[in-house]
Amino acid sequence: MVAAGVSVVILFPLSILMGVISAISDTEGSVAVTFGFSLFSITLAPLFYGFTTYIFALIAAWMYNLVAQKTGGIAYRTQQEKAQEHEQHV
Report residue 87's pLDDT band, with 50, 70 and 90 as the boundaries: low
pTM score of the predicted model: 0.55
pLDDT at 44: 81
**Contact yes or no for 49/2 (Cβ under 8 A):** no
In tens, the pLDDT along 19-39 reads: 777 777 766 666 666 666 777
In tens, the pLDDT along 34-53 reads: 666 777 777 788 888 889 99
Average of per-residue pLDDT across 83-90: 57
**Contact yes or no for 45/7 (Cβ under 8 A):** yes
Report the mean per-residue pLDDT for the chain.
78
Going from N- to C-terminal start, the domains of the chain cover 2-71
Angstrom distance (rounded) from CA 16 to CA 23: 11
| pLDDT at position 74 over 70 | yes
pLDDT at 9: 84
